[in-house]
Amino acid sequence: MRRTVNLMDKYELTESVRKQLCNLAHAIFAGKYPVLLQGPTSYRKTSLVQYLAAVTGHEFVRINNHEHTDLQEYLGSYITDAIGKLVFREGVLVKAVRRGHWIVLDELNFCPI
């Protein structure tokens, strides 16, 4: 709850922000389908999702994509552990999905995969 209070103090809920939050909430809670938010850079799309996740008690994971993002970052890869044994390390997307977190794939247009 503390995180929610801090987040609420951080944002100014103007009438237009409240309307956007309401529209986003309808889209998210209407079903179990992904929601695509599209708009100009710095339009506060990620912040809206982060805020809504916090006030509804959901964990929020942001994956910032870039021109070098590869599938291993999402899904995972094999690595050697401390004793040299090959083990699979899950990627950030797999971990988030397993835990039921809300996921934002930010800057997806930069991702080559």
Q: Which of 17, 43, 58 is the last residue before a domain boundary?
A: 58
The whole-number pLDDT of residue 3 equals: 52
Burial class (CB in 10 A: 0-12, 13-18, 19+), 107: middle
Are residues 71 and 54 both part of a single domain? no
Segment 70-112, tens digit of pLDDT: 889 899 999 999 999 999 999 999 999 999 999 998 888 887 7
Which pTM value belongs to this model?
A: 0.74
Q: Which of 106, 98, 11 is CA-nearest to residue 55?
A: 11
Q: Please give the tally of structural domains in the chain.
A: 2
* Domain, as residue range, for 39: 1-58
At 97, the amino acid letter reads V
User: CB atoms < 10 A from the CB of 53, how many?
Assistant: 20
Residue 58 and residue 85: Cα distance in Å, rounded? 35
Residue 104's nearest CA partner among 47, 61, 73 is 61
- For 92, the token pair is 């950030």
